[in-house]
Structure 1
Amino acid sequence: MTLEQLRRIIAACPDDTGGRRDRALLLIGVGIAARRGELAGLRSRNVEDLGDGLRVTTLFGKRGGRSVVVSAGRNPLTDPVQAWRDWAAIARLDPGGPAFLQVDKGGNLGGGLGDRGCGERVTACGDRAGVYGLKGHSLRVALVTTARSAEKPKPIEVIADQGGWTRNSSALLGYIRIVDELVENATIGIGL
């Protein structure tokens, strides 16, 4: 998922309870390079509003729990801090309860989204915006592609720490390689 695709997906989220939940889920998910199980296991108390960012503490993951800061966005559309505030305000979340709840067609809140439900939300949000084929894992890839292809590309170590990868992770290095091939390529700018 590219930044342009993420913006399209977020813009396509309706301004209702489900849309607010989806924006927060997607933007926090990208910000921490979340696995769908990490999002499903997240409790609302584990998303701490720092003012200009969020400290998100996952309870478990492939390498155990982790705590990372997700900075506020410069673009109001994709600001994870504001998306979280909007969702938390409308959902009136229980601090010990799930961070992301089910929302029915009438906007009524239900129990927590499971890992499968989180993955289904990513796919459904992508489909709604015409970005097909996304899965729960797409949030992890999105952090890598957006951080590495930014105007000031983030170093591999910073991306690894944010996403909970080991610094020599073959999966991470594979994602980096794909991005770098598009940015650092001998055929770019040679007049072809």
Structure 2
Amino acid sequence: MRDFTETEHGMEVDVQVFKIKPRKVKVPFGSRPSSCPMRAWRAWKESAGLTDPDDFAYKPLRNRWHTVLPGGLEPETIGDVITRLGTRAKLSFRPTGHSPRRGLATSSKPAGNDRKVIAQQGGWAANSAAMETYFEDGDGWEENALVKVL
């Protein structure tokens, strides 16, 4: 729990993962209540009764009664949950635990965010060639070399 610090602008998350260097990520309030990470975090914290700063932030639920169990989730479990939710939502692709990171890059670039800002938030090096592979080609109209030329 102590890796999540709420602020007036959102929350700061201390991300400690083995593949990318540790960093503190700032997560702002969302513009839509239905997809706001802060609202979701607060609702989860309240419904799970999370108050102990030394406790796990994300916990398993008992299948039958959906009550919160002690302990935390393994990284593989989080990936499984993402995949299961994608199947339930009938997405046209199979999301994995890596999908949120890719989705950050894919959605952030067309929103007009600078590549260096995207790299910092996602844990890539500033001029990461690997990050570039996550930028999916749009329809070719929004990002077009002839925009503002013709």
TM-score bracket relative to the smaller structure: 0.7 to 0.9
Matched residue type, 1:98? F
User: What are the superposed Cα offsets for residues 108-136 of structure 1, whole Å, 9 maximum, x if unpaired?
Assistant: 21221101100011111111111141100
Number of corresponding residues:
142
Matched residue type, 2:28? S
Other-structure match for 2:62? 104
Change (3 A) 1:155 1:107: same
Unaligned runs of 5+ in 1: 1-43
TM-score (norm 2): 0.85
What SS does the corresponding residue of 1:67 show, helix, strand or coil?
A: strand
1:174 to 133, 139, 146: 133
Q: CA RMSD in A?
A: 2.0
Q: Which runs of 4+ in 1 moved over 3 A?
A: 179-183, 185-188
User: What are the superposed Cα offsets for residues 62-98 of structure 1, whole Å, 9 maximum, x if unpaired?
Assistant: 2331101101001001111111000011112231122
Other-structure match for 2:105? 144
Unaligned runs of 5+ in 2: none
Other-structure match for 1:125? 85
2:113 to 154, 169, 184: 154
Matched, 1:69 2:26: yes
Change (3 A) 1:168 1:187: closer
Change (3 A) 1:156 1:186: closer
Change (3 A) 1:75 1:84: same
> Larger % of helix: which?
1
Max Rg structure: 2
Change (3 A) 1:133 1:63: closer
Identity level (%): 34
TM-score (norm 1): 0.68
What SS does the corresponding residue of 1:108 show, helix, strand or coil?
A: coil
